[in-house]
Amino acid sequence: MNILVLADHDRGTPKKIAHQLLTAARGLADGEVHALLMGADAGAHAEQLGAYGAATAHVWDDSDAEDYATEPQTAALVAAVQASGAQVVLYPGDPLLSDVVARAAVRLEAGVVTDVTDVERDGDALVATKPIFGGDMLSRCQVEPGRPQMLGVKANAFAEEEVGGSPADVVPLEVTVDDAARRARVVEVVEEQSSGRPEMTEAPIVVAGGRGLGEAEGFALVEQLADALGGAVGASRAATDAGWYPHQHQIGQTGKTISPQLYLGVGISGAIQHRAGMQTSQTIVAVNKDPEAPIFSIADLGVVGDLKQVVPALVEEVEKRKG
Ligand SMILES: Cc1cc2nc3c(=O)[nH]c(=O)nc-3n(C[C@H](O)[C@H](O)[C@H](O)COP(=O)(O)OP(=O)(O)OC[C@H]3O[C@@H](n4cnc5c(N)ncnc54)[C@H](O)[C@@H]3O)c2cc1C
């Protein structure tokens, strides 16, 4: 079984999710692991993916990938599946790629499983696990035997692990893009304003604040704790709806899904819609003054207390230990 990883990158620098998916692929493949990198400067550091187990990196560095995203990228993904002989594609479960993967799946007659949080081998088959019903249940899915399978894996579902293998063999990917594929083009890209903190879905540590903060200014406490830990800032919907923090930081069913090594929630009750976006976090810590708050039922560590006292004490302790 060869596996192709759709390796997301930032101007040629592979993102953490690319390393995570390659690590997962290495554990599942009994054939070769391949990577596909698309877009401007895609090949700049492609050989480095060998350290995570990619034998070959297929690179498509073409303005078509940037300017006419969906159709040309679909053609590239199909070409890479054919060139690599992959029966399985692991891709980042990112809304930006779902249109590309869906189209490629139709062309390849492949089965698709989205929101995957784990993949295991069962003989020759792969079994993917995904949360359903807002994360209340786990579903185990298997693609019909004989079909290619495309698994959209959530960020941080797998840990990244280097193997120190030899550099990947970097090969340019031949992609034919016809005029019909250029019907829709990207006309403008608006960069999100950066806070200097890590991106929430990529960060290993996320500190999230909720209505218990009492006011927008309460988020200063959350930011202090996030900065002390080197983490990202998240929020409940009650906090974003109140205008206390921008909506792109909302975690949950109608916000973003995160799966960091550490989630620290302060003044968040743990409603089911919030839990749907964070309950696969590896370690969950909650600070809440109500001992009956539902978040404590999924927390590994809970502190019952007033966040206005607990959070500053925590920041002080973290700073002290950092020396
Ligand atoms: C269709 C739908 C989709 C939704 N999607 C989302 C979603 O994506 N994300 C999301 O988060 N929610 C979502 N919600 C809303 C969700 O149901 C909850 O209303 C919301 O998560 C509550 O946010 P909260 O925990 O911040 O506020 P609350 O539920 O009001 O909880 C505040 C908590 O703070 C504690 N507290 C108060 N003061 C202090 C203090 N001084 N110190 C310590 N603790 C204190 C309280 O004990 C309480 O537990 C959705 C709802 C619907 C219907």
Ordered by where they begin, the domains of the chain are 3-182 (3.40.50.620), 205-322 (3.40.50.1220)
Give the pLDDT of residue 66. 80
Q: Read off the pLDDT of residues 71-109 as tens digits, 9 standing for 90 and up.
A: 999 999 999 999 999 999 999 987 778 899 999 999 999
User: How many angstroms is it from 172 CA to the middle of ligand 1?
Assistant: 49
* Mean pLDDT lowest among 84-88, 134-138, 240-244, 296-300: 134-138
Asked whether 114 and 154 are in contact (CB, 8 A), the reply is no
- Burial tier of 146 (Cβ tally within 10 Å: 0-12, 13-18, 19+): exposed
User: How many angstroms is it from 271 CA to the middle of ligand 1?
Assistant: 6
Round the average pLDDT of the chain to a whole number and report it.
93
Q: Which protein residue's CA is at the shortest distance from atom 47 of ligand 1? A: 290
Q: 304: closest CA among 286, 289, 292?
A: 289
In this prediction, residue 112 has a pLDDT band, given cuts at 50, 70 and 90, of very high
Q: Which protein residue's CA is at the shortest distance from atom 40 of ligand 1? A: 306
Q: Read off the pLDDT of residues 161-173 as tens digits, 9 standing for 90 and up.
A: 999 889 999 999 9
Q: Which protein residue's CA is at the shortest distance from atom 36 of ligand 1? A: 212
Asked whether 210 and 241 are in contact (CB, 8 A), the reply is no
- Burial tier of 187 (Cβ tally within 10 Å: 0-12, 13-18, 19+): exposed
At a CB cut-off of 8 Å and minimum separation 6, what does 171 contact?
56, 57, 58, 59, 83
Give the pLDDT of residue 63. 83
Ligand 1 cavity residues, CB under 6 Å: 210-212, 236-239, 250-255, 267-269, 271, 273-274, 277, 287-290, 293, 306-308
Query: Among 207, 221, 225, 236, which is best to mutate for testing ligand 1, by the most ligand atoms less than 8 A from CB?
Result: 236
At a CB cut-off of 8 Å and minimum separation 6, what does 127 contact?
119, 120, 121, 140, 141, 142
Give the pLDDT of residue 38. 95
User: How many angstroms is it from 254 CA to the middle of ligand 1?
Assistant: 13
Question: Residue 257 pLDDT > 90, yes or no?
Answer: no
